[in-house]
Each structure stands twice: as structure tokens, then as C-alpha cells.
Amino acid sequence: MIPVHGYEGEKVAVLGLGRSGLATARALQAGGAIPLCWDDGAEARARAEAAGLTLHDLGRREAFEGVAALITSPGIPHLYPETNKHIARAYKAGIPVDNDIGLFFRSLGSGAWDEMDQPPRVVAVTGSNGKSTTSALIHHILKVAGKPAQLAGNIGRGVLDIEPPIDGEVIVLELSSYQTDLARALTPDVAVFTNLSPDHLDRHGGPGGYFAAKRRLFAEGGPDRAVVGVDEPEGLFLAGQLAMGPGDDRVIRVSVDEKLTGPGWLVYARKGFLSETRKGKQVGSIDLRTIASLPGTHNHQNACCAYAVCRTLGLSPKVIEQAFHSFAGLPHRSQLVAEAGGVRYVNDSKATNVDAALMALLAFRNIRWIVGGLQKEGGLSGLAEGLPNVAKAYVIGREAEAFARDLGAVEAQVCTTMEAAVAAAMADAQSGDTVLLAPAAASFDQYDSFEKRGEDFIARVKAALD
């Protein structure tokens, strides 16, 4: 646990008692603060009370009297589409509002660091797609290289729930826009921006607000090194703002769309080969085509970002390449579930938006595509480039018929349920095909989460193959 500093003896309200909220309350308590906990859900309140935490109804008129700060869980809207009523009251009372990420960065260092040969460092990864795989890959490479490392944030453990870092340790954080948007302290040693595509637009008041939330990771504290994907205008803008000139190697530009040139520190992938250049000279190269857990251009971008981070941490290209080959990948992200009769079964349930689904479609050929769910803003037109790889679509979800119509010329079978879609796709599949779950939609019409959706796909496939 990372004890929270700066609130010793003071009352701090904690709103939202899920995983991060409970960890935040315990970390505040460990640092000498008095956490006052609230959640509008009775179940969450019961869990907190069972854990020995003090409940404090934030709906009462005098609820914020004597409170030094309000710490809110990332999922609770603090501005758009509408400010949560408790947060709005805190704003009116002039009470600072923060989240666990802000507390983490203000509390991480300790006096023990003065005795360390190499103080711990923090790598923070954000972006629309690929941040989970990039974060996990960085962590994996560090562990393979024998470096102490922890993985936390939007993946793995809550940031305040990790162990106090030891000499030379690297903490790898995956941070969503919900987490970066409100944090009052953001001071990573290395920050990563993978890419940007429309997502969570209602929460951020549009695309500008969404990008601004991501940009805060780079603007609030200023990392020592920034790894920036430059295949979108926003990435180019961000890299340009951070760099003092073309040769400024504090900014490492990453691309999978084109060969990068110039005097700076560059990492790019073309036709399956990763290349690193510095001052116009190639200093590293890796063939990514043979790495089964990183298929497709989107995963090559993840590999480039992870490679760039690990190079800033002093690892050699050879060590990084060896670690790439032993990386198992993450569940629900281009996850190879099975291979039988020449047919591959791939679970990419995390492809909850059009851009992520497009990357999955571009990674494979002869696809039996299981798609559908709660369609997000913007429609499906962004999938056009990947549709030639689709042999047939099998549409799931409560609105499957409408979803199927939006697929245009693609042959589509309305299945509604995962059970029916898997059965139909397996019946049609031939050797050389890939049965791919890449929904291009949220899961909440039928499942509690994308994980549950992916688990259902895996269970159906394995049951049919047994």
C-alpha cells in the first residue's frame, strides 16, 4: 500500500466505493487521514462498512463541513455530461476534488528513497487503444530482463494498493482519460501516448475535451521522456508541443503508418519490421512477424511504444526482442483461444469501438466475424478498410438486425446470441479462416462487461471443440 501524505489528522471524503475507492480509503487511513466514505449504492456501502470504514452520507446538508478534500472514483462524472451532485456541492464549497491517481503521484516518494542507489521510476501509458497491451508488454519485458516492476492503474492493481517500490523498481501504470482528467498531480518519469480515436465523447464534452484529458499526462508535470504515437493529428500536435526541436530526444516519435525520418529519436514499424533510429542512423531492428501474441498493425504499434519505453530505461534491443517472443498477450485482446482443423479462434472482445475493431479486421484474413452490441456514436463507416477481409459477419446483440443493416455489403447473419453466432461461424468456417470476436460495440446490452462477453465466446468455442 502507498500511504497518502498531506492529510494527516484531516477528514477526507471518499466518493465511490469500488476497487479504487476502497483502496483509496485504506491508503488515506494508513497516512493518518480520516476517510469518510460514501457510495449511492447500498451494496457498496455495505462492503465498506464490513471492511471497517466509516460511512458518511454526502447527501446531508452539513456533509462537507470540516472536510479537507473530496476524492472521487474515476467512473463518476465530475463535469460532463452532468456533474455528479456530490461533486457539484464540493465545487460550490471550494473543496478540492481529486482522484486516486493524483493522490498516488503526490504520495509516492518517501524518505527511504534518499538511501536508494536508483530511485524508483513511473511509466504512465494512455491513449484510446492499445494502452493495456502496451502497459502489460512493458511490465513483461522488465520482468524478463530481471528488473523489479509492478503493473497497476486501469489494469492489474489499484495505484494506491501496490507495494512501496524498492531500489531501481519501475511502476507501470495504464491510465484512462477518466483517470488523467481530474488528477491534481501527474508526474511520471516516462509518459506514453499510443493513439487517439473517438471514445467517451459524452464524458469529455466532445473530441477536444477527450484529447485534453489525455494531454494532461504530459502537460501537468512534464515527464523526462515522452513516447508519442504520431499517426493522428493530435499525436503530431502533442509531439510538436513537447519537443524543443527536431533533434530533441526527450520525445520519441512512434509510427506504424510511415517510415519516420529526421535527426530525432524515432521508432516505427513497416511491413512487420520494427526499426529504431537516432540522429538519422538505425540502431535497432526487430522482425515482429514471427511474434504470435502481437499480430497486426495495432499490436506492432503497441510493440513500438513498449520498445521505446524500455530503451529509455536502458534495455538493449536484444533483450527486448527476447521478451517479445515470450509475451503471452492479454485476455480479450487478439487472444488466440484455439486452433483446430486449420481454423483459428480469436477473442478480441476488448474491441469495443470501431477503431479497435478495424485493427482486428486488418490483422487477419478470411474472417468469420462475430460483431455487435451497443453501437457507439459515429456509426460503422470507419470499418470500411477492413471489410474486404471479412468472409461473413455473425451479428449479436439486442439490436442485431439494425446493426447488420449498418454493415452494408458484407454478408451478415443475424444471430442475436453468442451461442448462435459461434455455432453458425464454426459451421461455415474452412481451413485458413479465422473466427474472430471483435464486436465494435459496447457489451452492456447483453453482458456486464467486455470480459464477460469474451469469456462466453471462449466457453462456446471450447465446448464445441471438445
> Helices in 347-442 by DSSP H: which ranges?
354-363, 400-406, 418-428
Q: Give the three-state DSSP class for 141.
A: helix
| 269, 302 Cβ separation under 8 angstroms | no
> How far apart (Å, rounded) are the C-alpha atoms in residues 397 and 447?
10
Residue 120 makes CB contacts below 8 A (sequence gap 6+) with: 108, 113, 165, 166, 167, 168, 169, 170, 171
- Distance (Å, rounded) from C-alpha 241 to C-alpha 293? 34
Q: Write out the DSSP string of 436-456.
A: EE--SSBSTTT-SSHHHHHHH
- Number of other residues whose CB lies within 10 A of the CB of residue 49: 13
Angle in degrees, CA 401, 403, 406, rounded to 5: 115
443 is in an annotated binding site: no
For 120-259, strand residue ranges (E) read 121-126, 149-153, 170-174, 190-193, 225-229, 251-255
In angstroms, the CA 240 to CA 257 distance is 18
* Chain CA centroid to CA 389, Å: 26
DSSP element (H, E) containing 326: helix 317-326
Q: Is 205 annotated as a binding residue?
A: no
| Side-by-side strand order, sheet with 121-126 | 149-153, 170-174, 121-126, 190-193, 225-229, 251-255, 265-270, 273-278, 281-287
> What nine digits make up the cell of 426?
464454426
- Residue 30's SS3 state is helix
CA distance 56 to 59: 9
The alpha carbon dihedral of 83, 89, 92, 95 has a sign of negative
Reference 9, options 26, 32, 31; nearest CA is 32
| Structure-block grid coordinates of residue 178 | 477518466
The number of residues making up the chain comes to 466
User: Per the annotation, does 176 bind a ligand?
Assistant: no
Backbone angles phi, psi at 155, to 5 degrees: -135, 145
Q: Which three cell numbers stand for residue 312?
A: 529509455
Residue 130 marked ligand-binding: yes
Instruction: Write the DSSP symbol of residue 286.
Output: E
CB-count burial class (<10 Å; 0-12, 13-18, 19+) for 357: buried
Q: Say if residue 329 carries a ligand binding annotation.
A: no
- The annotated binding site is made up of 127-133
- The annotated binding site for ATP is made up of 127-133
